[in-house]
Chain A
Amino acid sequence: MSGRGGGTPWHLFALLAAAAGLAFALSLAIGPSGFGFKPAGDAGALIFWEIRLPRAVLGTLVGATLGLSGAALQGYLRNPLAEPSLIGVSGGAALGAVLAIHLGLSQVLPLALPVGGLLGAAAALIAVAALAGLRGGPITLILAGLAVSATTTAAISLALNLSPNPFAAIEMVYWMMGSLADRSLTQVWLGAPLMLAGIGVLLLLGRALDALSLGEDAAVSLGIDAKRTRLALIAGIALSVGAATAITGVIGFVGLLVPHALRPWLGHRPGLLLPASLLGGAILVTAADIALRLLEPWADVRIGVFTALFGAPFFLWLVLKTRSELAP
């Protein structure tokens, strides 16, 4: 298999980078008002700058965030079934946004949804960090994430249950499905710095994740700071996934699928998988978004629903594969 040796498979990274660039360009060029970087009509420039650009930028950034976070979390937990939503931050972001709708804030302030999402993500981060602590292994982090996720799910159900009117309930449900459409450049400006900061923190974890392949004791004896690694992982995922979810809603399965698909091509090395999954996630989300725009009957399908629709069978296959590997 390619990449088994000691070197970095540069050809693979070049290929992924080119594909991500192409997907970004196509996302800018494709839309109902025609193909190209100058959409037709008087509103052409406006369509390009205000509709296509935020959507393309968000697709790339959110995809990169989800792919990278998935790879980082799988590497840290040493479990290929982990997904960024596992640590509860996306649940927190969803709850924050749902509350903004419930309280009617989203009617008054255009940025109430993303800001509510960010606050929710921050609250979830604090709860997870406090519960999981800086010491302790993967299990405590998984349990803390599960506890926070369960709480946010319950609170979201309550908000839906008590929604002031059916329209608010529909808005909440639609928001949670996840979408890249109709996000303004202002929202991009709000989320992009946080996502980039989180991405930067996570990309530095490569060495630690490589060393953790041998277990925590061996990793520490190789000079890895276990506490700093855990803190960076939680903070990096919270910043990037929290901001991504606050702006686009929940887009599932990307963080599970991308690292898993790319792992064999990188000799299963968790450190190299980080930048590769970043690119792979950007490609997958942008391509899925383009596909939704091109396939007419799918135009109203949210991207979160689309990824779930294709991600669920993949997860099923993963479970069956794991089962056959574990079977005697």
Chain B
Amino acid sequence: MRLEASGIKVWLKRRAVLNGLDLAADRGQLTAVIGANGAGKTTLLRVLAGLLPAAAGEARLDGRALAAWPRPQLARTLAYLPQERTIHWALSARSVVALGRLPHRALGQGESAADRAAIARAITTMDIGHLAERPVSDMSGGEKARVLMARALAQEPQVLIADEPATGLDPAHQLALFRHFVTFATSGRTVLVALHDLSLAARFCHKIVLVHAGRALAAGPPEEVLTPPQLAAAYGIAAEYRTIDGLPVVLPFDVLP
């Protein structure tokens, strides 16, 4: 399913956070939203997840305005992983992952075989089998992040939106997560992530949208977006786009005056 935004404007506390932003994330692709702190990434993702209405412009999923999607149907189609990683009770990891099946279960209905299979797959994918019965309150930040990611995967969505899913993960789990995103996307899903690691973006994402001051400063394949002039404009940094053994790497090496 294609997820698109056109001319999105959002005001929060009388400040224009998004100011006419356009974006398209396509089926079969991993799309990254990058940008400096406060550029409007989270706000954009919340609009695209149908959590925040836009003051102007329209967000569409599969050609239909997000606002026109009935919420239960949207919950079965689109999963959203917030940046906020609070889990309020000492739930077991498995209980948290099982929450991803809520949209697929009718009121009062227990877990079906399909639910259990989806939960087991998500737990395996995120490598948290050994944590499944442990309370999340005892876990490290990175372990919690993987449990929450597994929750979104258990939802088995057509569209996955994740806000900084790699933050707090060790390098091995970051690489594994992005490999999984690519597999998930190329199996016919739409994946949209916000992130700060430019090398991860360069290496794994099919498309990058660089957000600056509430607008899309650039959008396209990594080598076209992650150019020194654009990184200077968006982040105020001097950075280089290189390849090491054919793999792209972005090296920020100085803050511009």
Q: Which residues on A are within 8 Å of B, measured CB to CB? A: 4-8, 78, 204, 207, 210-215, 217-218, 220-225, 263, 267-270
Are B89's CB and A270's CB within 8 A? yes
Cross-chain contact B95 with A221 (CB below 8 angstroms): no
Beyond A207-B102, A223-B102, A268-B89, is A6–B84 a contact (Cβ under 8 Å)?
Answer: no
Chain A residues with CB below 8 A from B148, complex form: 214
Known interface pairs A207-B107, A213-B87, A218-B82; A223-B92 also in contact (CB < 8 Å): no
B78 proximal to A (CB < 8 A) = yes
Q: List 13 additional A-B contacts (Cβ < 8 Å) besides A222-B155, A263-B89.
A: A5-B133, A7-B110, A8-B110, A212-B88, A213-B89, A213-B91, A215-B82, A215-B86, A223-B72, A223-B102, A268-B89, A268-B135, A269-B89
B80 to chain A, nearest CB (A): 4
Give the A-B pair count, Cβ closer than 8 A. Answer: 91
- Interchain CB contact under 8 A, A78 and B79: no
B90 at interface (Cβ–Cβ under 8 A)?
yes
Residues of A within 8 Å of B103, CB to CB, are 222-223
Specify which of A6, A207, A221, A223 is in contact with B94 (CB 8 Å cutoff): A6
B45 → A minimal CB distance (Å): 10
Which residue of chain A has the shortest Cβ distance to B105 in the bound complex? A207
Contacts of B74 in A (CB 8 A): 223
Cβ B92 vs Cβ A222 within 8 A: no
Asked if B180 is at the interface of the complex by the 8 Å CB criterion, the answer is: no
- Complex-state Cα separation, A213 to B91, whole angstroms: 9
B127 touches A (CB below 8 Å): no
Is B64's CB within 8 Å of the partner chain A? no
- A172 and B86 CA atoms in complex are apart in Å by 45
Identify B82's interface contact among A8, A204, A217, A267, CB under 8 A.
A217
Q: Which one, B46, B99, B119, contacts A222 given CB within 8 A?
A: B99
CA distance A6 to B51 in the complex (A): 29
What is the chain B residue whose CB lies nearest that of A208? B102
Most buried by A among B46, B82, B88: B88
What are 14 residue pairs bridging A and B, where the CB atoms are less than 8 Å apart in the complex?
Answer: A213-B88, A213-B96, A214-B86, A214-B99, A215-B84, A217-B84, A220-B71, A221-B50, A222-B75, A222-B99, A267-B95, A268-B95, A268-B135, A270-B89
A209 to B68, CA, bound (A): 25
Q: What residues of chain B have their CB less than 8 Å away from a CB belonging to chain A?
A: 46, 49-51, 71-72, 74-76, 78-82, 84, 86-92, 94-96, 98-100, 102-103, 107, 110-111, 116, 119, 133, 135, 148, 151, 155
Q: Which residues of B contact A225 (CB under 8 A)?
A: 71
Q: In the assembled complex, which residues on chain B have CB atoms less than 8 Å from the CB atom of A217?
A: 46, 49, 51, 80, 82, 84
Contact B91–A6 (Cβ < 8 Å): no
Distance between Cα atoms of A270 and B102 in the complex (Å)? 14
How far is A320 from B175 in the complex, measured between Cα atoms in Å? Answer: 43
Majority SS of interface residues in chain B?
Answer: mixed
Q: How near does chain B come to A200, taking the closest CB pair, in angstroms? A: 13
- Report the minimum CB–CB distance from B130 to chain A (whole Å): 15
Bound: A268/B93 CA distance, A: 12
- With A221-B49, A221-B51 already in contact, the answer to whether A5 and B102 are too (CB < 8 A) is no
With contacts A6-B111, A214-B148, A221-B49 known, is A268 near B90, CB below 8 A?
yes
Contact B133 A4 (CB under 8 A): yes
CB atoms of A214 and B151 under 8 A apart: yes
Q: How far is the CA of A84 from the CA of B116 in the complex (A)?
A: 35
Contact B102 A211, beta carbon cutoff 8 Å:
yes
**Complex: A310 Cα to B87 Cα, angstroms:** 31
Q: How far is the CB of B147 from chain A (nearest CB, A)?
A: 10
Decide yes or no: A267 and B119 within 8 Å by CB, A6-B111, A210-B99, A221-B51 being known contacts. no
Cross-interface CB contact of A223 among B75, B84, B96, cutoff 8 Å: B75
Q: A223 vs B79: C-alpha distance in the bound complex, in angstroms?
A: 10
Closest Cβ–Cβ distance, residue B61 to chain A (whole Å)? 13
Interchain CB contact under 8 A, B88 and A78: yes
Q: Which of B78, B95, B107 contacts A269, CB < 8 Å?
A: B95
| Least distance between A255 CB and chain B CB atoms (Å) | 17
- Which 6 interchain pairs have the tightest Cβ spacing? A223-B75, A221-B80, A78-B88, A268-B89, A223-B103, A268-B90
Residues of B within 8 A of A5 (CB): 92, 94, 133
Complex-state Cα separation, A223 to B75, whole angstroms: 5
A205 → B minimal CB distance (Å)? 11
Q: Provide the residues of chain B in CB contact with A268, threshold 8 Å.
A: 89-91, 95, 135
Looking at the complex, which one of B75, B91, B92, B98 makes contact with A221 (CB distance below 8 Å)? B75
Given known pairs A6-B119, A213-B96, A214-B96, the reply for A221 and B79 (CB within 8 Å) is yes
Give complex CA distance A270, B100 in Å: 16
